[in-house]
């Protein structure tokens, strides 16, 4: 891999950086314009982020190709799209940097490149403005999977403090990217997609919840009009940050479109002392020429390539929350564990209610001591029982929170995020510990460490059940420090207890981002175990995350959150694709229901390696009455597909189900797989292939498809395709 490198004490006037970063599908090209009289100043310009270009491309040759003319009513110097767009380059879209010293100086720096180094995967440059007293280091790293990671650091090289208001990363989009899709949502309805046509101006999504948020965009996607899961060029970004954020897609009459994101900071929340630095959260970006599936493939492969990605089969979970809630009687829980083990559960997770005075959700948070009332002999009797049954033991915690009705709060009311003497509004009867407070941090680390040391715990379900508002530390905005302290807390616990897995839960799916996932092993997608809702939630969580990172449980027949009745087969077929688990009172099921549950677990285990290692494909359907998707083995040897009918179909004749993603030239034997011990649909006699199976080519399955049987709402057809 060739590498170019340069370093000076002042601006690089000639021979500025140029680079061509490339993965299998994506190229990113940076050029520095030549110094010509009246031309733009020699700052690096990002001329292309998109489809892969040939290896022998001379980046500098693209400079003149994209050089704009000088229209009337525009800057005298042709406006290019600098790598770090700032006002000093004539840039008028959202700037990368906003901030100033106390007297207002330094607010508009002119940053010149003073060093750079690049190869075919990474570009790093240092920019400086000696007068403004600022230095910026930026690294763009394009992974082999096609995910571009943008890291930026701002250093105050002046002699006075510098307050950072915004320091984000932006990437250019081509003019044809005029449609935007991102996600929103709320408790029990996470990952709700919304699509807009981008006019002139900005589409801004601000996260002000102090956690990533149920309504987080997750991925901000811009693309050609009408892009789908299967087709169209798309560019998507995700911010790896668990605090507040701003995502922005902008289009301007200047002729530029860009997408970017940053941490949302309160004024002077980050105030850099001389010599100090602010590191922006990493921006992750991917391009796909083949719709949202291609984009997800980049993100999934990127996550899977991480050294810390879960490498063992994801254990089937029994979570006690919707099974017993706060009713923590040992005999009830051991009976539940017995049945769980008998149907094939591998990890038993004791949810909320085991500590301090926590008999309901009004008290006890913060008192991370096993409750002597509920557990006179500690947790050992339950843990030993669970372990003797061959299951792992997991425990629920909500470390960042405190109930005012707790011993911890009574002893340390000052350990809470607040503004002066005023407490923020309560939410689920709780306040938030100030992790930026060294004593609070040390206490929490000590308690969690002690629990993990004393007990045989393989897994923590790490919850977070409120938004943070007025997150003040010592009278100043404190969310930035609090979020970094949370990361330090998790990192330290993982270093001390490397075998322990952690789930990121926040009232369901309120904290799903690459920042938290760098130190956790799965997310709880939603508190809704209603499989109709889950079909949507899991489909759209999958825009960013591969299925093995997404907790999906079979809940009770009557959903606890929507009160909808759903059969076991549909519930199982829905949960099957994620990190599978159960969340219901198994002791209340009859023998035939338990046979069904056991069958669902067996089916999941049989396909687990495929489901958690294959390529996710989603099938575009014309209406919202059904959801269809599948997972195809990376070598094309087999695949599992699901067609879930959510409401009545609009047509009498059922549609053809196109099985995408198989090897077009290979032949496959396709058969219906009943799950949970029974037929998944009421009518399994026709078409003929339903009973007899069918063998045909991957191309025919993708392009023609298979005629579906008549499905009624809350029926799911599961298919297995095997190469012959």
Enzyme catalytic residues: 463, 527
Cβ atoms of 381 and 455 closer than 8 Å = no
Strand partners, 582: 318, 554
Q: Which is nearer to ligand DGJ, 25 or 538 (CB)?
A: 538
Nearest-CA neighbor of 514 among 237, 289, 258, 278?
Answer: 237
CA geometry: angle 373, 375, 378, nearest 5 deg: 130
Give the nearest residue (CB) to ligand DGJ.
352
**Residues near 531 by beta carbon (within 8 Å), at least 6 away in sequence:** 555, 566, 570, 571, 573, 574, 575, 644, 714
DSSP state for residue 209 in the 8-state scheme: S
Longest dimension (CA), the chain: 85
Q: Which two tokens stand for residue 401?
A: 């929170």
Give me the least distance between CB of 551 and ligand DGJ, in Å please: 9
C-beta closer to ligand DGJ: residue 351 or 392: 351
In the complex with ligand DGJ, which residue's Cβ is closer, 97 or 512? 512
Whole-angstrom Cα distance, residue 465 to residue 463? Answer: 6
Helices (H), 42-88: 59-66
Q: How far is the CB of 323 from ligand DGJ (least distance, A)?
A: 11
In angstroms, give the least distance from the CB of 527 to ligand DGJ: 4
Nearer to ligand DGJ, 507 or 538 (CB): 507
- CA distances, 57 to each of 171, 439, 537, 548 (Å): 21, 56, 42, 38
Would you state the torsion angle of the CA atoms of residues 74, 78, 79, 80, taken in this order, to the nearest 10 degrees? 160
Nearest to 469 by CA among 457, 479, 461: 479
Closest Cα partner for 525 from 184, 207, 189?
189
Report in angstroms how near the CB of residue 158 gets to ligand DGJ at its nearest. Answer: 46
* Comparison of 325 and 689: residue with beta carbon closer to ligand DGJ: 325
Q: Report the residue number, 278 or 321, with the smaller CB distance to ligand DGJ.
A: 321
- CB-based burial label for 116 (10 Å; 0-12, 13-18, 19+): buried
Angle at 684 between CA 683 and CA 688, to 5 degrees: 125
8 Å CB contact between 509 and 529: no
Please give the C-alpha separations between residue 222 and each of 225, 232, 502, in angstroms, as whole numbers.
Answer: 9, 10, 33
Tokens matching residue 626: 């059904």
Tokens coding 1? 């891999």
Nearer to ligand DGJ, 326 or 487 (CB): 326
584 in Cβ contact with 554 (< 8 Å)? yes
The least distance separating ligand DGJ from the CB of residue 510, rounded to whole angstroms, comes to 8
Tokens 């050609």 map to which residue? 224
Nearer to ligand DGJ, 209 or 473 (CB): 209
Write down the least CB distance from residue 509 to ligand DGJ, Å: 9
| Angstrom distance (rounded) from CA 631 to CA 62 | 40
CA 485 to each of CA 276, 388, 400, 544: distance values in angstroms, whole numbers, following the listed order: 18, 37, 10, 25
**Nearer Cβ to ligand DGJ, position 222 or 370?**
370
| Backbone region of residue 178 per phi and psi (left: phi > 0; alpha: psi in -120 to 50; beta: other values) | alpha
Q: Could you tell me the smallest distance in angstroms from the CB atom of residue 361 to ligand DGJ?
A: 6
Sequence-ordered strand ranges (E) for 214-276? 220-223, 234-239, 245-252, 256-263, 270-272
The minimum distance between CB 522 and ligand DGJ, in angstroms, equals 13
Least distance (Å) between residue 156 CB and ligand DGJ: 41
List of residues contacting ligand DGJ (CB under 6 A): 321, 351-352, 396, 463, 465, 505, 507-508, 524, 527
CA-CA distance, 498 to 500, in Å (whole number)?
6
**For ligand DGJ, which is the closer residue by CB, 32 or 465?**
465
Residue 213: phi and psi, rounded to 5, are 105, 140
- What is the C-alpha separation between 424 and 559, in angstroms, rounded? 33
CB of 194 to ligand DGJ, least distance (A): 24
CA 238/CA 256 separation, integer angstroms: 21
Cβ neighbors of 700 (< 8 A, separation 6 or more) are none
Residue bearing tokens 């001389």: 274
* Minimum gap (Å) between residue 360 Cβ and ligand DGJ: 10
The distance of closest approach from Cβ of residue 295 to ligand DGJ in the complex, given in angstroms and rounded to an integer, is 28
Residue pointed to by tokens 């079909």: 535
Q: Which is nearer to ligand DGJ, 99 or 366 (CB)?
A: 366
CB of 13 to ligand DGJ, least distance (A): 57
Q: Which is nearer to ligand DGJ, 334 or 561 (CB)?
A: 561
Q: Which residue carries 């059969």 as its tokens?
A: 567
> Which residue's CB is nearer to ligand DGJ, number 41 or number 214?
214
The kind and range of the H/E element at 473 are strand 472-473
Length of the chain in residues, anyone?
A: 724
Is 248 within 8 Å of 219 (Cβ atoms)? no
Closest residue by Cα to residue 171 from 196, 142, 199: 142
């Amino acid at each position: 891999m060739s590498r170019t490198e340069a370093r000076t004490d002042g601006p690089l006037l000639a021979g500025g950086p140029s680079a061509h970063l490339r993965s299998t599908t994506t190229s990113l090209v940076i050029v520095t314009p030549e110094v010509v009289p009246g031309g733009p100043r020699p700052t690096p310009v990002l001329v292309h982020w998109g489809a892969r270009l040939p290896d022998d491309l001379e980046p500098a040759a693209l400079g003149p190709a994209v050089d704009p003319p000088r229209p009337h009513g525009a800057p005298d110097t042709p406006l290019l799209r600098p790598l770090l767009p700032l006002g000093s380059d004539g840039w008028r879209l959202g700037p990368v940097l906003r901030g100033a010293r106390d007297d207002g100086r330094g607010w508009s720096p002119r940053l010149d490149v003073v060093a750079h180094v690049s190869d075919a995967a990474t570009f790093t440059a240092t920019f400086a403005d000696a007068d403004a007293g600022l230095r910026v280091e930026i690294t763009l790293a394009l992974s082999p999977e096609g995910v571009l990671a943008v890291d930026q650091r701002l250093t105050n090289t002046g002699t006075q403090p510098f307050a950072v208001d915004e320091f984000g990363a932006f990437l250019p989009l081509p003019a044809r990217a005029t449609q935007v899709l991102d996600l929103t949502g709320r408790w029990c309805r996470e990952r709700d997609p919304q699509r807009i046509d981008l006019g002139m101006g900005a589409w801004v999504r601000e996260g002000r919840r102090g956690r990533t948020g149920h309504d987080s965009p997750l991925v901000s996607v811009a693309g050609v009009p009408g892009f789908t899961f299967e087709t169209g060029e798309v560019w998507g970004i995700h911010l790896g940050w668990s605090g507040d954020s701003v995502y922005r897609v902008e289009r301007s009459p200047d002729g530029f479109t860009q997408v970017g994101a940053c941490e949302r900071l309160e004024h002077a929340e980050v105030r850099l002392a001389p010599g100090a630095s602010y590191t922006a959260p990493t921006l992750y970006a991917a391009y796909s020429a083949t719709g949202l599936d291609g984009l997800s493939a980049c993100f999934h492969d990127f996550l899977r390539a991480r050294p810390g990605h879960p490498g063992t089969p994801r254990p089937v979970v029994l979570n006690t929350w919707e099974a017993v809630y706060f009713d923590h009687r040992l005999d009830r829980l051991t009976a539940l564990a017995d049945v769980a083990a008998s149907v094939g559960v591998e990890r038993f997770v004791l949810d909320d209610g085991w500590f301090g005075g926590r008999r309901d959700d009004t008290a006890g948070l913060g008192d991370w001591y096993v409750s002597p009332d509920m557990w006179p002999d500690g947790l050992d009797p339950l843990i030993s029982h669970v372990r003797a049954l061959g299951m792992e033991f997991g425990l629920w915690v909500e470390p960042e929170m405190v109930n005012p009705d707790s011993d911890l709060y009574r002893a340390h009311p000052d350990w809470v995020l607040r503004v002066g003497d005023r407490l923020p509004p309560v939410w689920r009867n709780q306040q938030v510990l100030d992790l930026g407070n060294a004593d609070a941090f040390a206490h929490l680390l000590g308690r969690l460490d002690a629990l993990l040391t004393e007990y045989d715990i393989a897994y923590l379900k790490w919850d977070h059940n409120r938004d943070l508002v007025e997150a003040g530390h010592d009278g100043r905005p404190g969310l930035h420090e609090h979020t970094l302290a949370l990361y330090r807390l998790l990192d330290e616990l993982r270093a001390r207890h490397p075998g322990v897995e952690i789930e990121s839960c926040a009232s369901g799916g309120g904290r799903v981002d690459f920042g938290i996932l760098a130190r956790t092993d799965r997310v709880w997608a939603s508190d809704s175990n209603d499989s109709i809702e889950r079909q949507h939630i899991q489909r759209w969580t999958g825009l960013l995350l591969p299925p093995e990172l997404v907790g999906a449980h079979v809940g009770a027949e009557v959903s606890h959150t929507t009160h909808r009745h759903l059969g076991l087969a549909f519930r199982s077929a829905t949960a099957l694709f994620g990190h599978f688990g159960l969340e219901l009172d198994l002791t209340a099921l009859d023998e035939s229901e338990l046979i069904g549950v056991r069958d669902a677990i067996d089916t999941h285990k049989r396909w687990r390696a495929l489901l958690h290692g294959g390529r996710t494909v989603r099938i575009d359907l014309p209406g919202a009455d059904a959801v269809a998707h599948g997972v195809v083995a990376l070598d094309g040897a087999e695949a599992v597909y699901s067609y879930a009918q959510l409401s009545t179909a609009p047509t009498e004749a059922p549609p053809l189900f196109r099985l995408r993603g198989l090897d077009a030239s290979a032949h496959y034997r396709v058969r219906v797989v009943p799950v949970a011990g029974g037929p998944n649909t009421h009518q399994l006699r026709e078409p003929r292939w339903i009973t007899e199976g069918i063998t045909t080519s991957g191309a025919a399955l993708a392009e023609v498809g298979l005629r579906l049987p008549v499905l009624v709402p809350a029926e799911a057809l599961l298919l297995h395709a095997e190469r012959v």
